[in-house]
Structure 1
């Protein structure tokens, strides 16, 4: 049963990062603009994050197995839509459908683990395996994507989902038990569902645009609207006898620390994997598969960290494991920020290992805390909060830190490309993204082309350093918060 759940989780987690290495070939084929490129990458995580709370509540009330199987079938159909895309619009639409299917699958996996494994130690180990698969999926996405893209084209990154969906759905029908709320008269509060979706997606959209330096009235108004909608959502939950999400869970200090740790850990590592994949391909010229292979340290370290986490929590406690995991993330970003430019791959390899180990420890400890904080019949709520933090973190990481990196890259390119014999259109393209600069360099050729490429590589490296400093600061703040919020001696082996 755990294998069925983990197989589905692996695909959903891989889809958050599998396009990182496919982006260059996808750009060559579909010619998406810079904004479309970002949406192709992060719309999946943003849609998924926006729907998780509602999906978790539906699973609690109407059956987690039903929700899991329905979502995975939709995930397979959406993969076909994305794989056959001949335009950016169709690919983005496919990614939206993938996000909807993933939102139905992910809280179901964690809530089913909560129901199937009633023994606290067995549940901790199962959550460790779950977190290892989630972390490894996000990390090996670039590797598998690179191999498929290099041999069969970018569409293969989606076609690979279809046979796994078919096998997993068949096994799930046969093996998985059904669990639902023992009180079937509890109906879903659809106004709360609407408020949840609108609030989370609007918040993510607004942060994405503000992060890119947009201070337009519309963007700021959307941010204010998102905060207002989420406030109304929270107040409504406090008044309902059977809320969509028990917001009082966030008054539990350990639960709040776990949610923040998951959000910030995935925000940082999601952006890092995205930027490192581009760095390997555009700055160092590796093929998609070669770039994916060089991100393998993060997958191996994430697997090790997640599997070690249950034993470490038993010996050291949740507080210490969270601190160690988040501290490893901060140390990785510090190394990247402080290493001399140009950055060498051995530095990046060590950084990826630190990020993977920290992610494995922090995510496993956080999931254990959240799933232990609720009764079994409301496990979908805890799964939804955990997965919302996870996926929203990945999406916002690409949007926020990716936008910061892009802004710094553009500012560095302005000075480095002044005076080059390029048209205004070529200068704009080269300054907008490293992919655009690579294309301009190839088309221009000669000394001017070489200068454009050198300027882009140096600017990308410089922007990576700045982004590492920002990431380090964010993780350090959350590390201090986690240590302060989690009580000394807190255990995640039982509900609190």
Structure 2
């Protein structure tokens, strides 16, 4: 039994992992223009700098969770910190775009072992339900603060020390976390470790990788080129294979049966759509502020900060709305605010007023802050308790996938547009406005009476199936 002091240290160690993983997303976006100039990278190359991170995490989240349950959470957590640190070091020393993208992918391999495994460590360390709730709440607050601080810290580092410093800063933080983990975090495993599913993992990669590559490379190769068509065909075959293969396994990597719940399916689609809006927003806005308006990295970070602050504030408000009124009002309000923020950004140009930008950022940040709690609540509603971990892992994968798709789609529109950045980005902003509207509409559908009734029936079937598999 750990003492209160030791439990606090364990929690603080887990905080370090969410800080480095959370900061790395927003910090990298602020540094994109500097990376573009230093490494002579095309916009498609910048898309890969972002998506090589989110895509690899999306592919490996569920695998890393099962790895930790089977071989030990502390061991996996330490390995994740080590790989993340090594990947950060490679990124900081990268002499070319290709090496930088490879380093980002290695960061993501380590990152897939951090946040999900850290949550398992917190659950194993804080056995009292009230203490665990407080610990998870503090975890969420740190995650929100790290995201809010990312643009400003990134601007300071890029402006003062150069873009490579955003990666170097991870190395000492990871070293401290590894030391604390070795000394204070107890080893824990699941009572029944999930069997590995190599075919399922291969099919997940064969779906997500080609889809993202096709969207990013489509403007350069041509949407009708044999290469792009082959990528889409490979992705379609992988989805079909995944559906057939995973439905026959006793312990699948992706349990397709959970999608029989309309509430869960709706939440999964909203995860993709809403995170696509965030990924596209960060990518487009960074290029607009620094390349079009000529802002420094620090100035761009300060301008984006209202969005992150509104996100953090509304994330706390969202829980109260869901507790009092359910998920539906939160979804609708979130979708409308996302649409309003991105809708305003369709009208930006070279001389757009700062007040106009800040208003759009506040609306967008408030919308995205509201969407997180109803997503989790809806995804887990009607699911049996023994399926909560599976549902959470799939939902997290959908979020990462959505972010990668948002960057890929918006970047491709900017590259393939016939006009300059301003004209091309307006089309992309319009698509992101559609994501906001879709969030509101899908929220209405997935929280209605029909969806709730179907979710309850699906939960009973899943529980019965799980019971039969244990006999």
Shorter-chain TM range is: 0.7 to 0.9
Of the three residues 241, 246, 249, the one matched with 1:240 is 249
Q: 1:189 aligns with which of 193, 197, 201?
A: 197
Q: Structure 1 residues 25, 338: closer, same or farther in 2, change over 3 A?
A: closer
Q: Look up the match of 2:179.
A: 170
Q: Which residue of 100, 104, 108 maps to 1:91?
A: 100
User: What's the counterpart of residue 432 of structure 1?
Assistant: none
Within the alignment, does 1:463 sit opposite 2:424 as a pair?
Answer: yes
What is residue 448 of structure 1 aligned with on the other side?
none
Aligned equivalents of 1:367 and 1:208: distance in 2?
Answer: 29
CA distance in 1, matches of 2:123, 2:265: 19
Q: Partner of 1:157 in structure 2? A: 166
| SS state at 2:30 partner | coil
Q: CA deviation at 1:316?
A: 1.2
The answer to whether the 8 Å contact 2:218/2:412 transfers is no
Q: Aligned with 1:295: secondary structure?
A: helix
Deviation at 1:378, TM superposition (A): 5.8
Q: Unpaired runs of 5+ in structure 1?
A: 413-458
Partners of 2:337 and 2:135 in 1: CA distance: 23
Show CA shifts across 1:111-138 (max 9, x none): 4556666787876766555455445444
Q: How does 1:405-424 map to 2 (within 5 A)?
A: 405-408=414-417, 411-412=418-419
- What SS does structure 2 have at the residue aligned with 1:21? helix
Q: Deviations over 1:364-383 (max 9, x none)?
A: 33234446666666655334
Distance of aligned partners of 1:95 and 1:51 in 2 relative to their CA distance in 1, 3 Å threshold: same
CA drift of 1:342 comes to 4.3
Which of 303, 306, 321 is the matching residue for 2:312? 303
Distance 1:263 1:167 in 2: 34
In 1, Cα distance between equivalents of 2:126 and 2:270: 24
Count of equivalent residues: 445
Encode CA deviations 1:413-433: one digit per residue, 9 max, x unaligned: xxxxxxxxxxxxxxxxxxxxx
Change (3 A) 1:131 1:20: same
1:16-31 equivalence runs, <5 A: 16-31=25-40
Structure 1, 391-400 or 59-68: larger mean CA deviation: 59-68
Whole-angstrom distance in 1 between the partners of 2:382 and 2:125? 16
Distance in 2 (CA, whole Å) between partners of 1:481 and 1:75 is: 36
The RMSD of aligned alpha carbons is 2.9
Change (3 A) 1:33 1:472: closer
Alignment of 1:9-158 (within 5 A): 9-112=18-121, 129-158=138-167
Residue 395 to residue 331, structure 1, CA distance change in 2 (3 Å): same
Residues in 2 aligned to 1:483 and 1:124: alpha-carbon distance in whole angstroms: 29
Q: Quick one: structure 1 residues 153 and 44, their matched pair in 2 at CA, closer, same or farther if it must change by over 3 Å? A: same
Q: Corresponding residue for 1:437?
A: none
The more displaced of 60-69 and 320-329 is 60-69
Query: Displacement, 1:269?
Result: 1.4
Show the counterpart of 2:208.
200
Cα shift readout 1:37-57 (whole Å, capped 9, x = no counterpart) = 322232111122122232223
> In 2 relative to 1, CA 255–180 (structure 1 residues): closer, same or farther, beyond 3 Å?
farther
Q: Compute the TM-score of the two structures, normalised by the length of structure 2.
A: 0.85
1:480, distance to aligned residue in structure 2 (A): 0.7
